[in-house]
Amino acid sequence: MKPHAAATHSPGRTGVAGGLALPDDGGPVAEGREFVWSNADFNRIKALIYQKAGISLHDGKHAMVYSRVSRRLRETGHNSFRDYLDVLERSDGPEWQEFINALTTNLTSFFREQHHFDILAQLLASRRQQPWRIWCAAASTGEEPYSIAITAAEALGMGGQFQVVCSDIDTKVLATAAKGIYRLDGVKGLSQERLQRFFMRGRGANEGLFRVKPDLQKHVEFRVINLIEELPLRDAFDVVFCRNVMIYFDGPTQRQVLERIHRVMKPGGMLFVGHAENFSDARLLFSLRGKTVYERL
């Protein structure tokens, strides 16, 4: 990895404070920024992340995209977005994954949208004797799949037959999920009882850190899965959580992702989606059973 390039004096960078105008030709008009930034750069990044991850970026995302991808320029030692993108497009190497990781939004928390976990608990308790296969797609840093595993352990017992596949396109957040270590502010919404039963508390240098206990973690497996590609999943799932990711996809992409999810679910299986996601036009695939909960037909 090349060292961090120095700030304002390299060709192709701007160091002048001032307004922001965005030419299509990539000219050096985006003043006050470390790197020249143009509509052409934005549109190129927009097309590439759409192609690779299905993420649709609207024009209000200029500042976010600039800030996130400029970190990649620094890491790789490029002086301009144009150079960085030229090299990226000519390669099929690991920078593609870094590019994707830089552009995903990974906000999550334990027991986010609590009502889903209440429904899940009832569902699991209704069929204690059979194995449960649950897929948590777009799982980010792991709070969601561990919340699912905690719910299952409470309903079925720690030795119950349940397996949670935890996946994301972003390798960095998935590595965090696989570690299963969270800071105090991340677990503060969990009850003392849950913290004691499912986490080990760090001591000494690890004070303030909480690690998921191995007997819970063994129910969770981690996979890099891109929802816009054919799914590398064989067994049919009883439950799928695919929450707060479809909002980044356009209508046709959402439809394709729903069709893929449908193919890996058992008939009668339950699909949980995010609070802002509505798939009423996929009536032939899924039927609404509650607030943002669908049954696979």
Ligand X SMILES: C[S@@+](CC[C@H](N)C(=O)[O-])C[C@H]1O[C@@H](n2cnc3c(N)ncnc32)[C@H](O)[C@@H]1O
To the nearest 10 degrees (0 to 180), the angle between helices 114-125 and 143-156 is 30
Report the residue from 46, 168, 187, 219 that binds ligand X according to the rule CB under 6 A: 168
| Binding flag, residue 156, ligand X (CB under 6 A) | no
In this structure, what DSSP letter does residue 17 have? -
Contact 74, 67 (CB under 8 A): no
- Which CB sits closer to ligand X, 207 or 230? 230
Concerning whether 59 is annotated as a catalytic residue, the answer is no
How many residues interact with ligand X (rule CB under 6 A)?
25
Contact 209, 200 (CB under 8 A): no
Q: Which residues inside 66-105 make contact with ligand X, applying CB under 6 A?
A: 104-105
| Binding flag, residue 240, ligand X (CB under 6 A) | no
Concerning whether 44 is annotated as a catalytic residue, the answer is no
Query: Which residue, chain included where needed, has tokens 């977005």?
Result: 81
| Minimum gap (Å) between residue 244 Cβ and ligand X | 4
Counting every residue, how long is the chain? 297
Q: Which stretch binds ligand X (CB under 6 A): 16-24, 147-155, 220-228, 280-288?
A: 220-228
Residues contacting 111, CB < 8 A, separation 6+? 117, 147, 189, 190
Please tell me the chain's helix, strand, coil percentages from 3-state DSSP, rounded to the nearest 5: 40, 20, 40
| Binding flag, residue 173, ligand X (CB under 6 A) | yes
List the catalytic residues: 68, 168
Which positions touch ligand X (CB under 6 A)?
53-55, 104-108, 112, 138-140, 144, 168-170, 173, 226-228, 243-245, 248, 274
